[in-house]
Amino acid sequence: MPFIPHTEKDTREMLEAIGAKSIDDLFDEIPEELKIDSLQHVPDAVTEMEISRLMRQRARMDGSPMCFIGAGAYEHHIPTAVWDIATRGEFYSAYTPYQAEASQGTLQTIYEYQTMITELTGLDVSNASLYDGASALAEASLMAVRTNRRVKSGRILLAPGVNPVYEQVAVAIAGAQGLSFERLPADAGTGNIDFNALPDDREPVAVVLQQPSFAGTLDDVDRLADWAHAQGALVIGIVNPTSLALLKPPGQWGEGGADIACGEGQPLGVPMSSGGPYFGFMTCKQGHVRQMPGRIVGRTTDLDGNPGFALTLQAREQHIRRSKATSNICTNQGLMVTAATIHMSLLGFDGLASVAKASHANTTTLVDGLCDIDGVERLYGGPYFHEVALKLDRPVAPLLDALAERDILGGFDLSQFAGTHALLVCATETKTAADLAAFVAAFSDVMASDQRKHA
Amino acid sequence: MNSQMDKNLIFDKSRSGRRAFAQAPFGGEATAIPASLLRSDRPRLPEASELQTVRHFTRLSQMNFSIDTQFYPLGSCTMKYNPRACNALALLPEFAGRHPLGPVSHGQGFLSCMYELQEMLKDVTGMKGVSLTPMAGAQGEFAGVAMIKAYHDSRGDHDRTEIICPDAAHGTNPATATMCGCTVVEVPTGPEGDIDFDALKNAVGPKTAGIMLTNPSTLGVFERRIKDVADIVHGAGGLLYYDGANLNAILGKVRPGDMDFDVIHMNLHKTFSTPHGGGGPGSGAVGVNNRLLPFMPIPVVGKREKNGEDYYYWLAEDDIPQSIGRLSGFMGNSGVLLRAYVYMRMLGRAGMLRVSEYATLNANYLAARLRDAGFELAFPTRRASHEFIVTLKQEAKVFNLTAMDLAKALLDKNYHAPTTYFPLLVPECLLIEPTETESKETLDNFVTAMIEIATAAKEGAQFKDAPYSMPVRRLDDVKAARQLDLAYRPEET
């Protein structure tokens, strides 16, 4: 019986104290016909040694390929201290800080996180976290509807650069409450907003801008934010936190700044881990704080007048407001926020900026190398951060398969979204010059052998 | 816990030019990004050395209660031991480093674990399909109700927009119904903790989309007439949603599918011992019966044979075209799912049953001991499930000892408090869940602490100012809400 401490003597004495003959007696209120004899498909127990061996075998099946995929999840160096500390039992096995006096560690960490993420995004207040970047857009959209009450259309306009999966998730989550999502027109040459074709009759509740875009481009967020505000809409910015060490933060977009910023927190010290657990972040202007979903930590004082931290504005939340809550969200990604806070503390702004610059430089080197190959060119011109869309002269999937056989994950197949043979590549600070050269050589090679095959 | 701990913010330790220099690339080249797109200000992130940072957050961790350091009988949260191996194995470099959009050729290890997890969860719930994507219980609830809505809509039954919830339900249940565009019909609880049957009969009708139930309920008792409840709701054309918050109580013993539930979410961070992490990550996998199979959230992991071997792959839009869609950017909290997989394999078939047996034994033992010591149980005629409720109605009236006071006094005795003031319908309520991983000695010592506090209160002691031994005293929640201080901004103070 793994993890159960009871000796036979304990069990006997405990049953005696209860006044029951057997453990089975304790289930005598459950109708007999509902009880099962045994499970069918759960295997017999294994020891830690056996499961360790099995998991290592399976991990080896997945290997450690060289990865040039981004598309919403990014490989970065994570300082050893981040997860060493985050997995201390006091963080790892605590729960939501309902008993504030016994949870000051988690609460202060969240307060420090709220400070750091508002600084990065250039906005006033932050919540403690949401599930992930995609669902954060759904929550931001619902929040915009609650905040921008004057506009009744329920219509959210998405810039061309918004991650298509984020849109799918937003539709799945927010669609049931009557929100609709529409795309703004794109300029075919840049992939960015076509400012000459912007509609002025849509009465949007909010306009969503993603910077950098899903395809890696950088848009004129100042102009777009100003246009959105002129339409009476709120501006929701989706941003990559690493990029904010270089790029203008959403709080400074245009004349008024974005009203809400959100995004995927994974690049801040969270392993890629097949997609989760990550965390979504959300910050906003001070005036919108009461419409925010999720936990929020505030600094206050205790009976002795000393500073301390507690969950606050809980009247927004489901355990108080029930069907009238801002969201049903409660437990979400606390531990990942702890890791991100430690990560940001270790890097500081200068460290984060050098990660951002090195990623940008590596991507530039990679793209220059790849574009020297016949049949490869950039899909869009213009500036980028650490991810670039390439246009190929042939289908992408077979090339990626051939690269995978060489243990290189050559990027994300963008073709279905771009309407042409397109590949999205990303090189973060984790890649060396030799890595980049190896990828370019391998790519050139598979293109050549692919050509031979088709010749 | 040392109340004299260093409580400075990391920002107080910052000095311009300081940082953990080994953690980021040296230098950094100029970029080709136009100046109009660049940031010109300098956000205030900490500037601290690696040691300062390590020491700061280690110190902060020591200001927490946790399962690893204290008994944590927080009702409805299943604060059981989180085996260390689950974490270590989920963070093996190949798993931790796997990109979510990596090809299945480089994911057979991960995907095989996910497929087997789906199969095991189907078995323990008695459902026909499982989707692992919901990222917490509340998102599992959302997925469940969204599937119920999609089912009715697919039959042209568009008027079914009412979700029935017992008055004792978790707040997430009614909040979820609202998120799914439904309205909530609340039904009361009878005197022994079962649902009020007549009220339920009156509540159902042609607008009923479904009912959300936790069984055992949030009151810590098993809904004895669950089959009749199912008949009434199904008879009215509604579906049954099982909130898996209390699955630990019946694991391996009774299956929601056998109770005629149509859809269920599981809290893997409760029943299957993935970490609570100071407020997540959770994981809210959903199970469905045949009726709801076409509507499962995507992606799901499939298996087929390829070259004589098992081959695992993603099932997505093309495979489940009526799906309610995607709820996360990739596949939910996948690393949490790996931890649950490891835990379930270590428990094994027989171990599953032992979980519910010993969780129930511990709860009933603790309830009996506290009852014998003079505490009033909210439902004294009922068996406890894996948790039970003590009401301090009398103590509050006679000795001015409220549930809040007792909770804070327990902190001074080095116990985390039980859940207080939930469910809302029991006055001065303590919801106590010991879990199966606690020893008899721990439970006995907890009873002693409870008796000591109650005795002191009866002798005139007041606990309005407790706790005394924590890093902070009782906090001013009103001030926290009125004078919002949600981020450190030294220039404003």
Q: What is the mean pLDDT of residues A222-243?
A: 98
Angle, CA of A352, A357 and A360, to the nearest 5°: 125
Within a domain: A270: yes
| pTM exceeds 0.95 | yes
Contacts of B75 in chain A (CB under 8 A): none
Do A38 and A97 fall into the same domain? no
Do A52 and A71 fall into the same domain? no
Q: Could you give the C-alpha distances from A58 to A42, A67, B109, B304, in angstroms and in order?
A: 19, 19, 4, 18
Do A36 and A111 fall into the same domain? no
Instruction: Please tell me the predicted confidence (pLDDT) of residue B261.
Output: 98
Instruction: Please tell me the predicted confidence (pLDDT) of residue A235.
Output: 98
Instruction: Please tell me the predicted confidence (pLDDT) of residue A321.
Output: 85
Per residue in A295-353, pLDDT (tens digit) is 999 999 999 999 999 999 998 888 888 888 888 998 899 999 999 999 999 999 999 99
| Domains of chain A: total | 3
Question: A36: exposed, middle or buried (C-beta count within 10 Å: 0-12, 13-18, 19+)?
Answer: middle
Instruction: Please tell me the predicted confidence (pLDDT) of residue A455.
Output: 45
Q: What is the mean pLDDT of residues A49-61?
A: 98
Gap between the Cα atoms of B257 and B373, Å rounded? 39
Q: Which of residues 260-279 of B touch A (CB under 8 A)?
A: 269, 273, 275-279
Gap between the Cα atoms of A236 and A205, Å rounded? 10
Please tell me the distance in Å from B469's CA to the nearest CA on chain A. 9
Partner residue opposite A35 with nearest CB, options B254, B369, B471: B254
Do A43 and A138 fall into the same domain? no
What CATH number is associated with residue A306? 3.40.640.10
Q: Which of residues 223-242 of A touch B (CB under 8 A)?
A: none
**CA nearest B334: which of A97, A333, A14, A317?**
A333
Within a domain: A226: yes
Gap between the Cα atoms of A143 and A149, Å rounded? 10
Domains of chain B, earliest start first: 85-347 (3.40.640.10), 354-477 (3.90.1150.10)
Element (H, E) at B148: helix B137-154
Per residue in A202-218, pLDDT (tens digit) is 999 999 999 999 999 99
Instruction: Please tell me the predicted confidence (pLDDT) of residue A320.
Output: 83
How many other CB atoms sit within 10 Å of the CB of residue A432? 10
Do A70 and A46 fall into the same domain? no
Q: Does A80 touch chain B (CB under 8 A)?
A: no
Q: How confident is the model at residue A452 (pLDDT cuts 50, 70, 90)?
A: low
Please tell me the distance in Å from A444's CA to the nearest CA on chain B. 20
What CATH number is associated with residue A364? 3.90.1150.10
Q: Does B82 touch chain A (CB under 8 A)?
A: yes
Q: Which tokens hold the place of A134?
A: 């995609």
Q: What is the mean pLDDT of residues A184-205?
A: 95
Q: What percent of chain B has pLDDT over 70?
A: 98
Partner residue opposite B472 with nearest CB, options A89, A94, A101: A101
List for chain B the helix, strand, coil content (%; round to 5): 40, 15, 45
Q: Does A45 touch chain B (CB under 8 A)?
A: yes
Do A293 and A362 fall into the same domain? no
Contacts of B135 in chain A (CB under 8 A): 131-132, 135, 276-277, 332-333
Please tell me the distance in Å from B271's CA to the nearest CA on chain A. 13
B135, B281 contact by CB (below 8 A): yes
Do A273 and A407 fall into the same domain? no
Q: Does B143 touch chain A (CB under 8 A)?
A: no
Contacts of B352 in chain A (CB under 8 A): 39, 42
Contacts of A42 in chain B (CB under 8 A): 120, 123-124, 344, 347-349, 352
Please tell me the distance in Å from A74's CA to the nearest CA on chain B. 8
Contact B329 A75 (CB under 8 A): no
Q: Does A31 touch chain B (CB under 8 A)?
A: yes
Contacts of A330 in chain B (CB under 8 A): 136-138, 171-172
Contact B440 A383 (CB under 8 A): no
Do A308 and A368 fall into the same domain? no
Within a domain: A1: no
Last residue within a domain, chosen from A342, A368, A396? A342
Q: Which of residues 239-298 of A touch B (CB under 8 A)?
A: 244-249, 252, 264, 271-278, 289, 295-298
Do A285 and A159 fall into the same domain? yes
Contacts of B325 in chain A (CB under 8 A): 168-169, 171-172
Q: What is the mean pLDDT of residues A23-29?
A: 97
Per residue in B325-341, pLDDT (tens digit) is 999 999 999 999 999 99
Q: What is the mean pLDDT of residues A66-71?
A: 98
Gap between the Cα atoms of B430 and B419, Å rounded? 6
Q: What is the mean pLDDT of each run of 10 residues along chain B (493 residues)?
A: 75 94 82 92 97 98 98 97 98 98 98 98 98 97 98 97 94 94 95 94 98 96 96 98 97 96 97 96 97 98 96 97 98 97 97 97 98 98 97 97 98 98 94 98 98 98 96 96 95 62
SS3 of residue B295 by DSSP = helix
**Total CB pairs under 8 A between chain A and B:** 700
Within a domain: A3: no
Within a domain: A228: yes
Do A120 and A52 fall into the same domain? no
Contacts of A65 in chain B (CB under 8 A): 102, 106
Last residue within a domain, chosen from A320, A342, A364? A342
Instruction: Please tell me the predicted confidence (pLDDT) of residue B26.
Output: 82
Instruction: Please tell me the predicted confidence (pLDDT) of residue B227.
Output: 95
Q: Which tokens hold the place of B158?
A: 């568009």
For A264-280, the DSSP string reads: E-TTTT---GGG-S--E
Q: Does B244 touch chain A (CB under 8 A)?
A: no
Gap between the Cα atoms of B397 and B392, Å rounded? 8
User: What chain B residue is nearest to A166 in terms of C-alpha separation?
Assistant: B329
Within a domain: A413: yes
| Residue matched to tokens 């409870």 | B450
Do A305 and A166 fall into the same domain? yes
User: What chain A residue is nearest to B58 in terms of C-alpha separation?
Assistant: A85
Contacts of A355 in chain B (CB under 8 A): 24-25
User: What chain A residue is nearest to B443 in terms of C-alpha separation?
Assistant: A14
Instruction: Please tell me the predicted confidence (pLDDT) of residue A156.
Output: 98
Within a domain: A2: no
Residue among A74, A90, A143 with most chain B CBs within 10 A, to mutate: A90
Instruction: Please tell me the predicted confidence (pLDDT) of residue B7.
Output: 77
Contact A129 B280 (CB under 8 A): yes
Q: Does A97 touch chain B (CB under 8 A)?
A: yes
Within a domain: A21: yes
Contacts of A171 in chain B (CB under 8 A): 325
Contacts of B281 in chain A (CB under 8 A): 276-277, 332-336
Do A45 and A86 fall into the same domain? no
Contacts of B96 in chain A (CB under 8 A): 271-273
Residue among B130, B330, B347 with most chain A CBs within 10 A, to mutate: B330
Q: How confident is the model at residue A453 (pLDDT cuts 50, 70, 90)?
A: low
Q: Could you give the C-alpha distances from A72 to A425, B136, B185, B223, B438, in angstroms and in order?
A: 12, 21, 40, 45, 41
User: What chain A residue is nearest to B116 in terms of C-alpha separation?
Assistant: A42
Contacts of A27 in chain B (CB under 8 A): 253, 360, 383
Contact A333 B280 (CB under 8 A): yes
Last residue within a domain, chosen from A312, A342, A372? A342
Gap between the Cα atoms of A417 and A216, Å rounded? 13
Gap between the Cα atoms of A402 and A408, Å rounded? 9
Q: Which tokens hold the place of A3?
A: 């993890």
| Domain limits for position A373 | 66-75+349-454
Instruction: Please tell me the predicted confidence (pLDDT) of residue A317.
Output: 85
